[in-house]
Chain A
Amino acid sequence: MDENFADVDPMVYQSRINVPYSWWAGDTASGFFIALRDEKKIMGKKCLRCGRTYVPPRKVCPLCFTENAEWVEVGDEGSLQSYTVCRRQLASLPREAPVIFGLIRLDGADTALLHYVDEIDPEQIRIGMRVKAKFADERTGGIGDIAHFRPAK
């Protein structure tokens, strides 16, 4: 069957589904982003049953099936749980490769935050190293209000 197609361009229908969304952030994420934007503070939400502090904050504790009741400020510094250096220009990348992604467990948080790592040579990165948030000069209430994490001095 394939021989029939040797000199024939297959008929291909190009399309894209254009499905714009607008999500309401909800009270929990709003609290987080407002603190980032207006005060350069990183807030977590704490479950009073198990004592875990979630960053980014969640309404519900996934372990306890309980509403996380308490806002807690966590540090802007923490340890790098893992990372990768994305070298190929994958379609999902919002900027030019190489891009360094990391999971950062901030001091006081029990979960890690997904973000960028920058201002460091990729060869120098070590799991467990201390990193610190660099806030964006222009903050609009989104995860980009933290520009990236860089080595803590």
Chain B
Amino acid sequence: MDRVAIIGVGMTRIEANKITDTFADMVWEAVNGALDDAGMTIEDVDNVVTTSNDFWDGRTISCMAVGDASGVRDKNVSCVEGDGAFGALYGLTRTLSGSYGTTLVTAHSKGSESVSSLITNAAFDPIYERVIGMDMISACAMQAMAYLDRTETTSEQLAAVSVKNHGNARYNPLAQLPMEITVDDVLSSEMICDPLHKLDCSPVSDGCCAIILASEERVPRYRGKPVWIEGVSFCSDSYFLGDRELSTAPSLTRAAERAFAMAGITDPGAEIDVAELYDAFTHQELMWLEAMGLCEDGKAGSRLENGEFHMDGRLPVNPSGGLLSGHPVIAAGLIRIAEIVKQLRGEAAEHQIPNARRGIAQGVNGLCGQSHCVWVLGKDD
């Protein structure tokens, strides 16, 4: 694969309710942040990919609502419906095509402006399933139940994910929910759908992220510090929950294998210094670690309790605080990528993992992690 780097990142604070911003206002903030970070003007951007979802925005052709804010006039602009990591993948392929030397990718949503349960219920098949009335939370709770049953992971171990990530958020000024909590706090929070308590679940947030990709040839023209894309892959599981073995994530395993192979990684547990994973729910951080081969199947909970995934552990996971500390849908996967960029540049300030040279970011689309997009990023040497 030809070399492409991320040379600019910008993101808004993640908040429960950005009362002064429309989603286009958020995009304006994130895009300008990325341009300033890269030392570029909007004229330096060759093409644009926006990521959004019509249901979350409440308008069809939702991408067009943020056109002005992302400077698309006279540019080729395209849209990805789904998570920002997938938008970034499309942006990467456009850059690799050779037709565009620089690509701006944005991703946004404002969870405060809609009823997330109704939106995620609409993801279910209308003929066979939708009327039953499940949504993302109840579906993921059913997945958590299957995972706890199969692996004998405990509710305490799930709670430990929440304690770690909310704790990490105290060092990230952009996080919505920095909190110093205990396992007991999580277990005594409201049980929403067995086995997930309120503190096992990410909030539904407002936020936006933008990144700028550049071909190797264009990188030296701008002052933005490059972080190189070493591997990326995406894989999708079956659509119907009943077709899947919900306590496993074979599509993530496949995506990770391919991304690691592309990056020349043979021992992911040893060769990766930091990970930003899609912890929409506590059990998923553990499931994704196991599915990617970053620890043995069924062991993530006990390894977490041993401190292995803490900021001072052998593989820090979600030093940003993760989704549990702030979850703007759509933007979430792109924020994971942007956070790894900051880590590898040494720009993560108080939540910096020392000497991070290689990191992974994961985006997810669909119910219970149906599709996964895994990114391997490397420091500029």
Contacts and interface: CB of A to CB of B under 8 A. Distances in A.
Q: Are A and B subunits of one complex?
A: yes
Interface of A: 1-2, 5, 10, 15, 17, 21, 23, 25-26, 29, 54-56, 62, 81-88, 90-95, 99, 101-103, 105, 111-116, 122, 127, 142-144
A85 B191 CA distance: 9
A22 to B, nearest CB: 10
A86 B131 contact: no
Contacts of B146: 81-82, 127
B241 A114 contact: yes
B132 A116 contact: yes
Contact of A115 (B124, B132, B137, B194): B132
B264 interface: no
A36 B121 CA distance: 24
Contacts of B20: 1-2, 5, 10
Contact of B145 (A25, A112, A127): A127
B273 interface: no
Interface of B: 19-20, 58-59, 115, 117-118, 120-121, 124, 126-129, 131-135, 137-138, 141-146, 149, 190-195, 238-243, 246-247
Given A93-B133, A103-B142, A87 B193 contact: yes
Contacts of B247: 82
A143 B242 contact: no
Contact of A62 (B134, B143, B191, B238): B238
B129 A114 contact: yes
A93 B215 CA distance: 48
B118 A92 contact: yes
Given A17-B58, A91-B115, A111 B242 contact: yes
A92 B123 CA distance: 12
Contacts of B131: 94, 142-144
Nearest to A112: B242
A101 B138 contact: yes
Contacts of B58: 15, 17
B198 to A, nearest CB: 8
Contacts of B242: 55, 81, 103, 105, 111-114
Contact of B142 (A29, A84, A93, A94): A84
A150 to B, nearest CB: 16
29 contacts: A81-B246, A82-B142, A83-B145, A84-B141, A88-B192, A88-B193, A90-B117, A90-B137, A91-B118, A92-B117, A92-B134, A92-B138, A94-B132, A94-B133, A99-B133, A101-B134, A103-B241, A111-B242, A112-B242, A113-B242, A114-B129, A114-B132, A114-B134, A115-B132, A122-B194, A127-B145, A127-B146, A143-B131, A144-B131
